[in-house]
Amino acid sequence: MKSYEYQTLFDLETSYWWFRGLHAILRDTLPRVGLKPDAVVLDAGCGTGQNMVNLIDNIGYDAYGFDISSHAASFWPQRRLERVCLASINDIPYRDETFDAVISVDVLECEAVIEAQAYREMWRVLRPGGILTLVLPAYDWLLSEEHHKAVMANRRYSRKKVLDLLNTMPVQLVRLTNLFAGLFPLVATYRILQPYWKKKAPSNEPRSEIKSLPYALNETLFRIVDVEKSLLRRIDLPFGSSILAVARKVA
């Protein structure tokens, strides 16, 4: 992610509909797949750390995290996070079988990530029976040139691609679902039409699509995702702009 995007992330991660919705889904999903409140959890690629705060404060997990960016690390003291370090997901600095769960949100798609190696590393630090939770962007055709340059990502995923990756290591699939299905038509239309109307930033620096929205619009979008959260308790969604994969490590 470009250095200037971390300030945007820090400023909006507690309020922006996408982050609020995803974090709510994760807080609802993890206990339901058997992760107990005293679990030791690693957030692999934790960014500015709001997801870790949620896991600690709202569920009680013993959470650790790391990120490769010193720009992300500069925000950790403001979130009062102490068990965090600078590291690459390609070479995780923890011993084998340390964690009950590893969570990684929108990391594997990044340019600096060696996908297969990063997955092996997450699998390595999981205890037998531990839970791996991945959130990944869906559909190659949703790739947006400016947004993805700003967050330094160069790949998106299909369910088959996620399954193929998961099956390179011994795991039991717990669930595989798309996310943000209710807003998918809106997101898809925005991405398809974007090249025809969006002007390039005057500074020539790429900017992400994460921007402050009017309160009423932001709340409406969040409420739609919150309804989806309840639906996800009963079914897996067949389409949506992100993919949630949960797998259990087999010894």
pLDDT in tens, the chain (251 residues): 777 888 999 999 999 999 999 999 999 999 999 999 899 999 999 999 999 999 999 999 999 999 999 999 999 999 999 999 999 999 999 999 999 999 999 999 999 999 999 999 999 999 999 999 999 999 988 887 777 777 778 899 999 999 999 999 999 999 999 999 999 999 888 777 776 765 555 557 777 778 899 999 999 999 999 999 999 999 999 999 999 999 999 98
What pTM, to 2 d.p., does this model score? 0.92
pLDDT of residue 148: 74
Radius of gyration of the chain (CA): 17
In CATH, what number does 5-249 get? 3.40.50.150
Measure the CA–CA gap between 52 and 5, rounded to whole angstroms. 19
pLDDT of residue 1: 73
Torsion (CA) 179, 90, 154, 1 in degrees, nearest 10: 90
Phi, psi (degrees; rounded to nearest 5) at 247: -135, 150
* pLDDT at residue 13, rounded to an integer: 94
